Structure 1
């Protein structure tokens, strides 16, 4: 699941709907929270401060059914839901005073994350509170408080997206290289039982396929990459043309920890087509990253040899960043 940012402007019909809902609530007797210390805004502000600091001990928490929740458990779940964004907690801003209907208060909070490259991603969330018998307000906790698409066990993650690579054209202006189906072969760390055995089995499988279909695959740094990755991450090993994947699938599909993603990559008609002239486009290898740490990261596509290598900087697209929900 992919989350795009920044958030687009809401269309006019959404604003009309929001206005209609607000009018209906006012007709039903919605009150703006008072400004005294006993109002729900005090609890909201304490919750927002605790969200950022990771300490919610001063905030009463309940689930949507009204059962009490340990504040430490909620703080831990917020961190888990934040996933790869947890190291930089969001800026949280309460928008106006809470609105109270009977024993339920509702307030809108802007959640603004600072992503790598100082990119900002902001959206509004609704925080609800219930008025308890002890005359205290308690936050009604659910994962959607962090983001509307999150559920228990989910986590936010960052995905680096490389822009579309420019085409190499023939003398008639037609692309020699076009998007063709591939299968990205990777490893999920928490599914690997024995990384040394997995590397050995993968190496044997790749070497058994004709070199014309499968390039030499360097697995030297795979154990380190798996060890450093998040447990549920996809650690890419190689992208294979469908023909090559069909041949190698029986050897690797059932290996513990292997994962497979269908995709499209700009490729020549065959691996050997005008190879010396065109060069190849492959996932960044360890020596690419070592030579240009400011340019490439694991997973980037890099031109090697021929025109692809010589004009790599002109042909490769600029990288982007996407926030995704991992389940």
Structure 2
């Protein structure tokens, strides 16, 4: 919630408070003085409040106004808890709630108003202790804050996925400004766009000898603003190193910028000057975790020495924490190198037996929007899922099928792009699967029901409600009303998937169990809106052992002799066309499952380069 909204809320509740304070007062009594003083203080009608004290009106007005500024308070609220009268003396006890702003905790304390009769009229006996029992003459309030540095995003080994970058924080030492604070802040406000009253409140609410952080700059903006900043007498600039320069996968880790007036207003969270703000990726999704919240103390200061006189309240702030991901540095390096020579491609690698995302790389595409959340035609890569349904229905991998150049199924026409294997039944289902013959695969539509295909799709995660703290897409399979729709599904023509979703499909066959994806292990993951994900993700789904045995052999045939088999170790997978000069490779080597989508490039060659690089990485 922003400061403006908090102040509005306080104004609205004032009417309720005023009613509470006046509800049962029918005759002149100490109640009237207490009511007017607290209502005046709460509503910033300091003339009303001062008129109910025995102190100098100007002095009281200033003390009340100064208290609000010294606490940098968004609002005060009061509730009378008791009034006692003994002759011409009275005492009112009240409960105070002070909104310190900046999303700091609410400061609550118990106060006391001593009253006495002055010429027959009840007056609050004025002294600084009226504001707080521990505030004495020659003292004032202050708020001492301690911003906590931003924490890093980590890989699976606990190493940072970004390097330090210098940010520049402009601020002041209030004691050095003397009576020039308003002038200095006005000049800083004019050149930065920050609200002058907010900057001034931060200065006046801080201990005088402490450096007060006011505005943060990135390097480029700081260099452009430097002459103007140096022209303001009293402004100091401190360079601060923060872990904000992302390493690969850069778009998954996310970028960070210095806090600006616009982002401060938008976030309204624990951020203060000196903080950095995640603009996208995990840096944005976990902004409040990475920044935590500012440690805050409410204190009293001795005006002569400037030293702390008393600690009135303190809050440690929410501890900020690192965000630990499943990204594997070696796998990420290999993935980046594999896509480097392509024009347009995306690669996602997962650990087959856990669903943990090991690497996300893209060239000419976006790592989050395309690799994790992209909606692309599955093409014959979906035949892995379709084969699960067909094998369960008794279709043998050895069954012979024709692969004509064209075939019509249920009124839908299918064309085999490239060289067909002829109309004779010389090749097996396994061979057509390995080569991605659209016409042969489509001919099997009558061997399965729509429910068979839908059940297999769900078993491999399609349309499952799994989510990540970043955008993601689990795939869609339309309602299948006849043989034409079923044939299109087997050929992947009416199915949309993401590279992440297909990597999980490969992982399911490789490990024998489909599992939902996992990107962040600590802290608890968030969805893109910043809300906690459901306590449970979809449950793992085992692959039928007999089906898995057959599929493993079919996918071994699919990878054998292809560019995917570029290095040592057996590779399993299929290369598939997906229209628009796009091709897929979906498969695995060892315990690493991968999906590659490439345009005008052989996806299997990208996968082969990835596996070869992974095998050579120490």
Task: Give the conservation status (yes or no) of the 8 Å contact 1:60–1:139.
Answer: yes
Task: Give the conservation status (yes or no) of the 8 Å contact 2:79–2:95.
Answer: yes
Q: Secondary structure at 1:293's aligned position in 2? A: helix
- RMSD between aligned alpha carbons? 5.4
Q: Secondary structure at 2:153's aligned position in 1? A: coil
- Over 3 Å counting, the alpha-carbon distance change for 1:139 and 1:239 in structure 2 is farther
- Over 3 Å counting, the alpha-carbon distance change for 1:253 and 1:130 in structure 2 is farther
Aligned to 1:46: 36
Q: Secondary structure at 1:172's aligned position in 2? A: coil
TM-score scaled by length of structure 2:
0.30
Q: Secondary structure at 1:173's aligned position in 2? A: coil
Larger RCO of the pair (alpha carbons < 8 Å, separation 6+):
1
Aligned to 1:98: 84
Give, in whole Å, the separation in 1 of the partners of 2:216 and 2:259.
Answer: 10
For residue 258 of structure 1, report the CA deviation from its aligned partner.
0.8
Aligned to 1:256: 233
Task: Give the conservation status (yes or no) of the 8 Å contact 1:81–1:153.
Answer: no
Whether 1:238 and 2:217 are equivalent positions in the alignment is yes
Give, in whole Å, the separation in 2 of the partners of 1:99 and 1:182.
Answer: 59
Task: Give the conservation status (yes or no) of the 8 Å contact 2:89–2:116.
Answer: yes
Question: Which of 287, 293, 308 is residue 266 of structure 2 equivalent to?
Answer: 293
TM-score scaled by length of structure 1:
0.51
Aligned to 1:190: 182
For residue 76 of structure 1, report the CA deviation from its aligned partner.
4.2
Q: Secondary structure at 1:52's aligned position in 2? A: helix
For residue 193 of structure 1, report the CA deviation from its aligned partner.
9.3
User: Size of the alignment, in residue pairs?
Assistant: 243
Give, in whole Å, the separation in 2 of the partners of 1:45 and 1:155.
Answer: 24
Q: Which has the larger radius of gyration?
A: 2
- Over 3 Å counting, the alpha-carbon distance change for 1:51 and 1:86 in structure 2 is same
Question: Which of 69, 77, 84 is residue 63 of structure 2 equivalent to?
Answer: 77
Task: Give the conservation status (yes or no) of the 8 Å contact 2:164–2:241.
Answer: yes
Structure 1 residues 85-137: Cα deviation after superposition (integer angstroms, max 9, x where no partner) = 6764x33222122264x8653321111245767975432111122444x3443
Question: Which of 54, 59, 71 is residue 61 of structure 1 equivalent to?
Answer: 54
Give, in whole Å, the separation in 2 of the partners of 1:126 and 1:163.
Answer: 36
Aligned to 2:130: 145
- Over 3 Å counting, the alpha-carbon distance change for 1:123 and 1:58 in structure 2 is same
Give, in whole Å, the separation in 2 of the partners of 1:141 and 1:106.
Answer: 13
For residue 147 of structure 1, report the CA deviation from its aligned partner.
3.7
For residue 156 of structure 1, report the CA deviation from its aligned partner.
6.8
Structure 1 residues 178-205: Cα deviation after superposition (integer angstroms, max 9, x where no partner) = 999987323686353994xx8xxxxxxx
Instruction: Give the structure with the larger helix fraction.
Output: 2
- Over 3 Å counting, the alpha-carbon distance change for 1:144 and 1:174 in structure 2 is farther
Task: Give the conservation status (yes or no) of the 8 Å contact 2:216–2:259.
Answer: no
Aligned to 2:284: 313
Give, in whole Å, the separation in 2 of the partners of 1:123 and 1:193.
Answer: 31
Task: Give the conservation status (yes or no) of the 8 Å contact 1:150–1:325.
Answer: no
- Over 3 Å counting, the alpha-carbon distance change for 1:167 and 1:87 in structure 2 is closer
Aligned to 1:25: none
Q: Secondary structure at 2:61's aligned position in 1? A: helix
Give, in whole Å, the separation in 2 of the partners of 1:289 and 1:46.
Answer: 39
For residue 175 of structure 1, report the CA deviation from its aligned partner.
4.0
Give, in whole Å, the separation in 2 of the partners of 1:314 and 1:46.
Answer: 47
